[in-house]
Amino acid sequence: MSLIIQKYGGKALATASDIKQVAGLIYERRKSGDRLVIVVSAMGDTTDRYLEMARAVNPAPAGRELDVLLSVGERISIAMLALALNALEKDVAVSLTGAQAGIITDTVHTAAQIVEIRPLRVWEVIEQNRIPIIAGYQGITTDKNISTLGRGGTDATAVGLAVALKAAQVEFMKDVEGIHTADPKIFPTARVIGEASYEEVLQMIGCGAKILQVAAVEMAAQHKVKLAIGNSKTGIAGTILTEKPLGRRTLTAVSVMNDVRCRLFDSTEHLADAVRQLRDSGCAPLLASQSGGKGLLVLRPGDRVTPEFCEAPEIPREPLSLVTLIGPGVGSASELAEAVQRKLKPYYEQVAALQLTESRLAVLLPRDTARRFAETVHELCLTESPSFSPETAHG
């Protein structure tokens, strides 16, 4: 029997009906023979509502007491899901807080990092042939206080437990079929990617895709933990994340971020200072490049900047969009790279900036042009063959 970690996010557990539906899936999966450990987030937008409550009594809530409040959401979820499962079979599930599951963190409140997991209680429940339902996003500090892990912390909880328990796989059950080649709301032809590498997924996240927490993917890559992303309504995992570079030479994904903000710098030193300031504020640039002693920084629309940073001039041509292409060989001497360049050629004169690596191509274009280029180049994601014919390359 395989030991599987399943993580369910807040959208999957938003209502009592949703929780009963998830409980049914878990129960059927258990009957198939797998041993399961379930990690859950707070129901729906509970965490945001608790933050609003905190601000109603304190304009700048922080520290230990805020963690005590924010940890409540996941505790509600674990109890509700365990109750739903126990309605299907008496005492089949046991709810555990982060502390009870042995998740030990540092002492940085509201943004703690896991330092160790001692899953003794989790093993006890598993060996009783029961299902542990564990609160994600939280733990206990080394000085015995409740802590929370920050946004996306439930993903880190799931991967951390997989490492500690030596689980076969972590399945992230979401409201999607898997990772798509592009945003299906914008590109109707987008399809689910069957397999992707950790590196590719990290690059997609860096382009703004809300897939998984970065730290969780990095932890999985470091410990070679197999990940899967699937649908919480069907229980089917559509995308598998693998540790090995993929042999295919098709384009993996196309990302478009509109209304990006671009700053120019008169020296690489000033560019480096700006990147440092941005990272200190908890953000990361979409693109940072330098040439001839000059620097360029591309930011998400909502990124905050310091007053010194704002002094850097903006590229005058607005609005701009950043189109990012991800795929093995997209920036190397490959047939895929040649096909991409043929797609880009009609738009060369409108390119405001371009950055290229072996597996990533980022192009800054006027918004309307960016959309047209993204649509035509996305055709390469739909090519099943490992190579490209001239007809395919030209679309």
- Residues present in the chain in total: 395
- The pLDDT tens digits for 82-109 are 999 999 999 999 999 999 999 999 999 9
Model pTM score: 0.87
Q: How far is CA 280 from CA 170, 305, 311, in A?
A: 31, 10, 18
Task: Give the closest residue to 234 by CA, choosing from 1, 40, 36, 12.
Answer: 12
Delimit the domains of the chain by residue range. Answer: 3-242, 253-393
The whole-angstrom separation of Cα 160 and Cα 149 is 12
> In the β-sheet with 103-105, what is the strand arrangement from edge to edge?
114-117, 103-105, 138-141, 146-148
Ramachandran region, residue 190 (left: φ > 0; alpha: ψ -120 to 50; beta: rest)? beta
- The pLDDT tens digits for 300-310 are 887 765 545 54
| pLDDT < 50: residue spans in the chain | 307, 310, 385-395
Would you call 71 exposed, middle or buried from its count of C-beta atoms within 10 A (0-12, 13-18, 19+)? buried
The pLDDT assigned to 247 comes to: 61
User: Tokens 């189109």 sit at which residue?
Assistant: 323
The answer to whether domain 253-393 has CATH 3.65.10.10 is: no
The whole-angstrom separation of Cα 302 and Cα 213 is 19
Two tokens, residue 132: 């542990």
CATH number of 3-242: 3.40.1160.10
Two tokens, residue 376: 């035509």
